[in-house]
Structure formats: C-alpha cells, structure tokens
Structure 1
Amino acid sequence: MPLEDELHHKPQAETAGEQHAGEDQGDYTTHSEVMGWCLYSWAAEPFIVSAVSTYVPLLLEQFARENGVRLDDHSKPCIHKEPIDVTPLPPPPDSTLPETLMLFKRREHVQYIDTSSYALYTFSISVAIQTLVVISMSGAADRGHYRKQLLLMFGVVGAIVTMLFRLISSERYYLSSLFAIVANSCFGAVNVCGNSFLPILVSNLKPPSSSRDSVVSNGNQFTKISGLGAASGYISALIVQIMTMLIVIKTGSTTLSIQTAIFVVGLWWFVFQLPLAMLLKSRPGPTLVLKPDQNALLQYVRYGWHTLFVSIKHASMLRDVLIYLLGWFIVSDSVVTINSAAVLFARSELLMSTPKLVIVGILSVLFAIFGSLTVPYIQRLFKITPKGSLLCVIVGASVIPFYGILGFYFYGIGLKHEWEMYMLAVWYGFILGALATVSRSLFAMLIPKGKESTFFSLFSVTDKGSSILGPTITALITDKTHNIRYCFYFLFLLLIIALPIYAMLDVERGRQEALELETVDEDE
C-alpha cells in the first residue's frame, strides 16, 4: 500500500486496520494539535534567538578576554585583574593595530586567536557534533512512536544544560564551550523532530487537501501552518528577550548577569515541555523490525545512518530536492553567520554594551514575528509562489552584508554608528521570520510522504553542515585581518551565488517526482 494512503485517516471499517501499529486511529489534525506543534517552537526558539544569537557569543567573548592577552603586548592581560601565566613576547611588527583587538592564548602552546573568533570556532564545532546527533536519531524518529519522545527528551536535556551555564566560572571557561556544544546539538535534534511533523499535520487537515496539483494553493497551507509555528517561536523569544534584558540591566551588565540570562532561557525551555507533551500527538510511523539478539539502540542508530544514505540516494532521484538543498546549504550558512558576525562586530568595533545588544535582539525578534505572520498573506495577496517568495527573501538578506561593505568606502554610513545596528536589526528580523516560514513550507512540498523525518534530517544536515563552514571561515578572516568587517564580503558573495541556483528550481516538477518516489521501498 502506498505510504501516501497510510498517512490519511480512513474512517471506513475495512481500511482502519491499515493504520500503522500504535497510530492514532481516525484523527484528523486538530487546532489543539497545531497548538501543541507550535509549542515546540515556543519552548525552544528562545534558545537559538536569545542564547545562541545574543548571550552565548557575548559570554564566550568575555571569558576569552578574561583569560587572554593583548594584541599589542602579549605580556599584558586583556583585563587587568589577577596576573596570568604568559611568556612575554616581542610586539608584532605592525604597531598601528587598534588596542581594542585582543587575543586568547592556549595554555600549552603560544597559539593566538582573536577573542571574537573563539565564539565562532565553538559554534562551528557544536554544529559538527549536532550533525552527527541529528543523523543518528533521525531513523528512530521516523520509526514507531519515537518522534515525539525524542523531541521531548532532547528538549529536556538541552534545557538543563542551558541552565548549567549559570554555574561556570571564568577559570573554567572551556565548560561554556562544552555546554554550548551539547545544548546546540539538542536543539538541532528538537528542530528536526519538530519540522518533520509539519507535512504530516498538513496531510491530515480536514478536509484533506485535494489540490496537490496547485503549487500556490497547497503552498499556502504549508506556509500558513509553518508561519504560525515560526511566529509562536519568535513571540516566545521576544518575551524571553525582554525578561532577560531587564535582568541584565538590573544586575549591572556583568558576566554573571549574562549567565543568569542564559539560565532563564533554559528554564523557559524546560517548563514548556509539559504542555507540549500533552497537546502534541505522536503521529507514529511504521514500526522498525528489530533483531532480538542485537542492541535496540544501536539498531536505531545504524538505521538512522542507513536512512541518511537512502535519502541521499532518493534525493539524487529528485533533482529539485538537490537544487533546493544546494541553495539552502549556501543561504542558511550566510544568514546564520550574519547574526553572529553582526553581534561580535557591534561588541568589538562599535563597543556597544550588553543591554544595547539585547535591544538589537529584541528588535530582530519583534520584526521576525511580523515577517513570519505577514509573508503568508503577502504570498496569497499577490499570488506569489513559495519559490518566488524565497528568491525575494534572499535578495533582501543580501542587503545586510552589502551595507556593512559600504563602511570601507564611506565615513558616515556602513555600520559606523549604533543607530545603524538598530536599523539593520529591524530588517534582519523581518528577513529571518520570512525565511523561517518560506523555507520549511517549500521543502515540505518537495519531499515524499512517509519519509518526513528522514528528509528533514537531510535538510538539517545540509543546514547545520553549512554552518560549520560559515563561522569557521569568518573566524579565519577575522584572525587574518583583525577586522571582522571583511567577513561581509564573504557573506554577500554567498547570497548572490544562491540566486541562480534557486532560479533553476521547478516546484511542480519536484512535487510530481516526490509522488512517484512515495511508493519506493526504503530498502531498495
């Protein structure tokens, strides 16, 4: 029986037995279930928007300063407090380098990196680990009733580790990198499980959609629900960002205040696991037949890697999925890195304080909500296809690094003043919300039913795999030039390259190929 039929409710008695074992019998997607799905974004999104995008980079950079030495004199610490064990070295030949650039020193060897690069390298490693975790758990998410269980389990672990940031001391700064890696890996797993629910929820809407032949009509259904999820996450992040800003202002913008803000983000993530568990249905897939003489966990992990290779094989049969993933590899890398680079640029070049940077984050989140909610209506009003919407969003995103590049050629504009950061925060937020809404809905239209977690794990691997390169290259550019502004050239080029790639995408052809692949057995 085709997997497409298995995912739809069949009220007739003669077809009821064809449901997967343990599957909810006869349930269409309900409003409460959509609300439960939105809760996964509500709980987890503050981690990526508030913690990863604002507080964790600032904390890592601050710890690097507290344990580092000056660029112009390696015998002097960045921050004058207790003496640190460094071997005096002659100053670099170029004495014109700004004194605000400071370097972090590894204990065993005289190896220096810029304090801004320390956070970027940490995120690159965390994304690499996250990719391995996502692949290993994706098979279990697609088989049996584990999709929801894994979402909750990784949510709880990620929340607890995020709260543990509160206990880190400056002398044990390396723990902040470790916790960032673990928490970010958990968020990636949660994101894959949550995204894989989207095509299932749309497929089971009442009445079931009969418009698979209409790209615009069916795309609106995906975009609407995806937009609700994105908006709920950004609204949640906005609330948390305001709460944490008040904490930072009240406690004096210290390192401890930043750690307390991260703790609040983790606590928020943890608390909302309970209502999520109550409202979201399991929506199980087909059961994986396990060998009784082998460890069950290892079998699921092996299956996860097996399904990755199978999905790569299947994706090779879906030319438009390949086009989409290639473009997404580039776009996601640049958009994510833009945020980290902008925050570190504002801290090191514009010398903006933590409360001001939190306000920048609030503006981004506020307009991300606006973007995620308005894009579906704009798309429907002007009858724009999801592909057209994505191309417009990419062009809009390229404005941000281009504006940073202008700073090389003009004295008055190009990220030379604090007010420019606030202006770009508004624009970046709108672009981020629009991208979160359009990207998921467009990809969900291209993948075969019954393989949601597998293909969304491939989507996540592409997303996160690219995010290893962006921060790493940005860090290398910063280490080489000691001027983070040069990174804007790299980020602008990435977005421009993505435009002709997505121009080749044919959504209608991709949907037809996905329909044909739905009947292909995974083990072939």
Structure 2
Amino acid sequence: MTPSEKSKRDSSELTDDLRATVFTDSVGIQTKGPTFVSSITKNEPIVNRRELWAYYMYYNGDNGVGPLGFSMTLFQSLAFAAGFDPVKGPGSSCSAADASGQCVLPWAGGTKSVSSIVLISNGVSFAVMTLIFTTIGSAADYGTFGRWLLLVITCICWASQFAEMSLTTPSRWPLAMALYMIGFITYGATLVFYAALFPRLARNTLRSRTLREKFEAGDISREEYEVEESLEKNRISNISTTHSNIGYIATLCLNLSVLLPLANNPKVNNYTLVLTNAYWVVTGIWWFLFQQPRPGPPLPKGEHYITIGWKQIWAASKQYKQLPYTFVYLFAFFLLADGLNTTGTLVSICQNEKFSFSFLQNTYLGLAQAITSTMSTLGFWYFQRYFKIRTKRMFIVTNVVTVLIPLWGMIGIWTGKFGFHNVWEFWAYNVVFGLFQAPYYAFSQTMMAELTPPGFENMFFGLFGLSNRASSMIGPNVIQAIIDRSGNNWMGFPFLFALCFSASLVIWIFVDVEKGRKDATAWADGVRKTADLSVDAQ
C-alpha cells in the first residue's frame, strides 16, 4: 500500500488516536473538546471587488521596504559608527582609511562583530516569531480573533517604524536594535496571518464557487476541477505578490522625493522611514474596513486563546501519517526558508558595507529588484496559465536560483574577483532575485494552500509561518558563530548552500502535490464527519 493510499484510508476511517481527540464543528458544536476546528461555514460571503482590492492594497503597503530593509540598514549603520576596529583597539574608527575591515562592539563582557550582532538580532526575532505562531497562530481560527490579531500586530509594526525617527546618534544603536527587532517580528507576523487569509478568500471567489458547484453537479471531472481551482488560487496569489512589488516600486520612488533633495540632512534616513511607513498606513487600513466577516466557531468552554494553539499544533503534528506530503513539505520548507532568509540577510550585510549604508544606493538597488519582481511575477503567472503548468514545476524553477545564490557567495571565499565583492554583483543579485525569488514566494504560498486541509487554514498556515519565518532562528545563529570565529562574512555561504540544496531536493523528489491535496481534503472531511457523528450520537 502506498503512503498516499494508506493516508486516504486513515483519513476516511480515522485512527483510534484521532477519534480519541476532541473536535469542534464549523458552528462551534463541541464533542469532547477543542483539538481541531474547521473555520468553513456554509454561508461564507462571496468575495466582492472592494474586499479583494483591499486585500491586495494591504500587501501593496506591507512590502518590507521599512521593517525589512531600511530599518536593518539604519541599525547596522549606527552600530558600525559606534563600533571600533579590534586591531587598533577602543576609540578607533571602523571607517578609517587604514581600518582593518573588522568592526566590533562591546557585548556580554567582551566584544562581537557588528555583522554577528545583526545576525543575532535576526535569530532572536525569529525565535520570538516561533513563540507567536505556536501560541496564538491556531487560535486565529476561532471567532473573530484572527481579524483583530492582524490589526493589533500591524499597529505595533507601524508604531515601531514611526519611533525610529528618534534614532539620530550612534550611541542609540541598542535602541535601534530593539526597534528593528520589534518591527521585524511584527512584520513577519503580518505576512503569516495575512497569508492565512488567502485560502479562505480563494475558495470564496465567484469563480471558485462556480467551479465547485459544477463539480458537485457532475458537470466537470475532479481532475479538471482541481486544475482550474489551482489556477484560481495562483491567480490571487500572483496578483497579490504583484501588488506587493508594485508597492515596493511606489515606496522607493516616493522615498527619492526625500532622499534626493535632503541628501545632506543628517536626519534624511529617519524622514525616509517615516514616509515609507505612512505609505503602508494609507494603503493597509482599508483591509480592516472592507474585510467581510467570516468568523470561526466560538472558543470552546474551558479553553484559552493562549493555550489552545499549542494543543492544536500538537494534535496536528500527530497527523503526519494521514498528511504525509503536507508534513514533508513543511519540513523541507523549514530548511529552505531558513537558508533563503539567512542568505538574504548575509548578502544585505555585505551590500550595506559595500555601499556604506547608503539609503539612496539601497533605494536604487531596491528599484531594480522591484521592477524585475513585478515583471517576473506576472510573466510566470501568464506562462503557467497559458500552458496550465502545475504549481510544483513552477516552484522548482525558482528553487534552482535559490540554490545558486549562496553557491555564488561561496566563490568569494577564495577570490576577490567574484562572489559579492563588486558593485556590479549586487546589481546582478537584485535583478536575479527579482526575476526568480518573487515568484518563489507566490508559488510556495500556493503549494501550502493546496496541501492545507480546507477549513484549517490558520492552524496549518501557522505551521507554514513557523517554517517560513521562525525556522530562520537557526541559520542566523549558526552563521554569526562562523563569522565571529573566522572574521569573514563569506564563510557563512557554504552552510547556506548545503541547506538550500538539500531542502530543494526533498521538495523536488518527495512532495506530490496532487496526492497531498486529496489527502488534505479527505482528512478535513473525516474530521467534520466524525464531529457530526458524535453530535448525532448525543
């Protein structure tokens, strides 16, 4: 018996262990307690144009220019200015003409390189994200908690970005580190809880509803239904990613209105961050106004929002036998996301040092990445739609480049001619990243949506968020130890190459999306049927 056949048998008949767990149905009827919850209700409103555009516009503003890009550059810049050259000792300047190229700061009774401190802040941030996703991620399936959770986290991120107006002197680098971490953590959380909305919206578009009605009426085959439904998910995912890239371009162009005329103003970077954040506020607020209510069931009696997430994740993790492809993908993506995210951080550290922490130069580089990202996202989507190519095949193409980026960085260990040592290489990196990694994010999200049991989006996207963001608490800590010991940023690339390559192989060889989708649907149906039978028995 194949793993998929066994999974379908276990999903339809549910094991004794699964029957012993507690289920809550879509209208909040409790049987033995709240282990699994389906957020699907029979009368979910159809997505209208205003709601869909509000969804797109939120991502248009939540493009990462501020919390992911400029905040890190400002933090690293202040830390570099406050640091000293370890070869010459305290009081020396890291930017002096005869500097050794190393830069350290006092840290825990000793010293640590600025690059290592930046990586530590990332690692700690990802650890906090882990706590957030595991503690309250699944709780978002209950009532309107998920709706308010995204609003609160978004407001905290906005506040941290506006607070960076106070970062004006090198001595405030610890505050810069704290604000960067708060912004980075909440930004990462907004991406995960925003992504968890995606499957719910995708299944309630007019086209998705029509396809489902045709399939249930027997007008179209299951294979045709699955292909067309997958294309509808990819349509929304790619359009939302395109909007993020358009917002990225718009934000960077808007920043030039400050960076160019105020180039000699010492607070120009702070003004730029405020303007960047204001753009997100203007574009993002509409989602909270126009989102239609699709609440889950009420929190069962005796349960708490802080603890129920852990219970659901523990229960979900025991379903790997029923959902083998879903969990193989989550494990592989855990490693892949760690490798890619840490690679991006390490390249950014090298880039910031190469361009002397210039917001203006980073804006130009960001524009190159944003323009190519927009073109490639639309290009990949049209290519996929025209030839009706499966999501996994498109994802594999992007994975190849994911592996090649740290491989190129490895070259820089043995030569200064190539391997992120030259200005042109950072331009090439941003163009290549835009061409292939923007579609990577869209297809990885669609892959997860197709492997997620319908009605359990927040629970499984919480695990996906754990893989996508929180996994990266490993990479930065390993890399910072390597850099701190070797004094060479480029020594971190071999580990990242091995991480990305091994994770990609697992996805390419061991994840069957079509079988995984059937397993997920069967599992969700089994949970709901068991809950209904238990209610009838009462």
The alignment's TM-score, normalised by the length of structure 2, stands at 0.83
Match of 2:74 among 59, 71, 82: 59
Identity within the alignment, %: 21
How far did residue 100 of structure 1 move? 2.2
How far did residue 461 of structure 1 move? 1.0
- 1:217-269 deviation line (CA, Å, top 9, x unaligned): 33211111001111111211221122224423433377632232222232223
Q: 1:249 to 1:335 in 2, by over 3 A?
A: farther
Counterpart secondary structure, 1:519: helix
Counterpart secondary structure, 2:292: coil
Q: 1:24 to 1:163 in 2, by over 3 A?
A: farther
Asked if 2 retains the 8 angstrom alpha-carbon contact of 1:248 and 1:254, the reply is no
Q: 1:184 to 1:61 in 2, by over 3 A?
A: closer
Residue 172 of structure 2 aligns to which amino acid in structure 1?
R
How far did residue 492 of structure 1 move? 1.8
Q: 1:253 to 1:333 in 2, by over 3 A?
A: farther
Q: Which residue of 2 aligns with 1:103?
A: 104
How far did residue 299 of structure 1 move? 0.8
Counterpart secondary structure, 1:112: strand
- 1:263-283 deviation line (CA, Å, top 9, x unaligned): 223222333343112222232
How far did residue 408 of structure 1 move? 4.1
Asked if 1 retains the 8 angstrom alpha-carbon contact of 2:40 and 2:455, the reply is no
Q: Which residue of 1 aligns with 2:56?
A: 38
Distance in 1 (CA, whole Å) between partners of 2:90 and 2:335 is 41
How far did residue 212 of structure 1 move? 5.4
Asked if 1 retains the 8 angstrom alpha-carbon contact of 2:26 and 2:296, the reply is no
Distance in 2 (CA, whole Å) between partners of 1:22 and 1:347 is 46
Could you list the runs of 5+ residues in structure 1 that have no partner in the other structure?
Answer: 8-19, 82-96, 292-297
Describe how 1:354-369 pairs up with structure 2 within 5 A: 354-369=359-374
Match of 2:272 among 261, 267, 272: 261
How far did residue 315 of structure 1 move? 4.1
Q: 1:256 to 1:284 in 2, by over 3 A?
A: same
Residue 66 of structure 1 aligns to which amino acid in structure 2?
A
Q: Which residue of 2 aligns with 1:126?
A: 125
Q: 1:318 to 1:24 in 2, by over 3 A?
A: closer
Asked if 2 retains the 8 angstrom alpha-carbon contact of 1:212 and 1:218, the reply is no
Describe how 1:238-317 pairs up with structure 2 within 5 A: 238-252=249-263, 256-291=267-302, 299-317=304-322
Q: Which residue of 2 aligns with 1:115?
A: 114
- 1:365-396 deviation line (CA, Å, top 9, x unaligned): 22222222222222233432111111111102
Describe how 1:224-243 pairs up with structure 2 within 5 A: 224-243=235-254
Asked if 1 retains the 8 angstrom alpha-carbon contact of 2:138 and 2:309, the reply is yes
Q: Which residue of 1 aligns with 2:503?
A: 498
- 1:460-484 deviation line (CA, Å, top 9, x unaligned): 0112222111222222222122221
Distance in 1 (CA, whole Å) between partners of 2:68 and 2:142 is 33
Q: 1:178 to 1:413 in 2, by over 3 A?
A: closer
Q: Which residue of 1 aligns with 2:9?
A: none
How far did residue 321 of structure 1 move? 0.9
Asked if 2 retains the 8 angstrom alpha-carbon contact of 1:144 and 1:284, the reply is yes
Asked if 1 retains the 8 angstrom alpha-carbon contact of 2:26 and 2:297, the reply is no
Counterpart secondary structure, 1:251: coil
- 1:48-91 deviation line (CA, Å, top 9, x unaligned): 2x12443122222222123222121123333699xxxxxxxxxx
Residue 367 of structure 1 aligns to which amino acid in structure 2?
T
Distance in 1 (CA, whole Å) between partners of 2:154 and 2:59 is 11
Asked if 1 retains the 8 angstrom alpha-carbon contact of 2:45 and 2:294, the reply is no
Residue 359 of structure 1 aligns to which amino acid in structure 2?
Y
- 1:91-138 deviation line (CA, Å, top 9, x unaligned): xxxxxx9612111113x61x2211122211111111111221222222
How far did residue 320 of structure 1 move? 0.4
Distance in 2 (CA, whole Å) between partners of 1:277 and 1:467 is 29
Q: Which residue of 2 aligns with 1:328?
A: 333
Asked if 2 retains the 8 angstrom alpha-carbon contact of 1:248 and 1:257, the reply is yes
Superposed CA RMSD in Å reads 2.9
Counterpart secondary structure, 1:440: helix
Counterpart secondary structure, 2:84: strand
Could you list the runs of 5+ residues in structure 2 that have no partner in the other structure?
Answer: 1-11, 13-22, 28-37, 216-220, 532-538
Counterpart secondary structure, 1:384: coil
How far did residue 179 of structure 1 move? 1.8
Distance in 1 (CA, whole Å) between partners of 2:296 and 2:503 is 34
Counterpart secondary structure, 2:105: strand
- Higher mean alpha-carbon deviation, 276-285 vs 446-455, is at 276-285
Describe how 1:154-169 pairs up with structure 2 within 5 A: 154-168=153-167, 169=169
Residue 167 of structure 1 aligns to which amino acid in structure 2?
S
Counterpart secondary structure, 1:70: coil
Distance in 2 (CA, whole Å) between partners of 1:459 and 1:481 is 34
Q: 1:283 to 1:69 in 2, by over 3 A?
A: same
Residue 487 of structure 1 aligns to which amino acid in structure 2?
G
- 1:153-192 deviation line (CA, Å, top 9, x unaligned): 2111211111111113432322222222222232233222
Q: Which residue of 2 aligns with 1:516?
A: 522
Counterpart secondary structure, 1:272: helix
Residue 511 of structure 1 aligns to which amino acid in structure 2?
R
Asked if 2 retains the 8 angstrom alpha-carbon contact of 1:152 and 1:273, the reply is no
Q: 1:509 to 1:52 in 2, by over 3 A?
A: same
Q: Which residue of 1 aligns with 2:32?
A: none
Distance in 1 (CA, whole Å) between partners of 2:242 and 2:61 is 12
Q: Which residue of 2 aligns with 1:431?
A: 436
Say whether 1:469 aligns with 2:474: yes
* Alignment size in residue pairs: 484
Q: Which residue of 2 aligns with 1:88?
A: none
Q: 1:459 to 1:212 in 2, by over 3 A?
A: farther
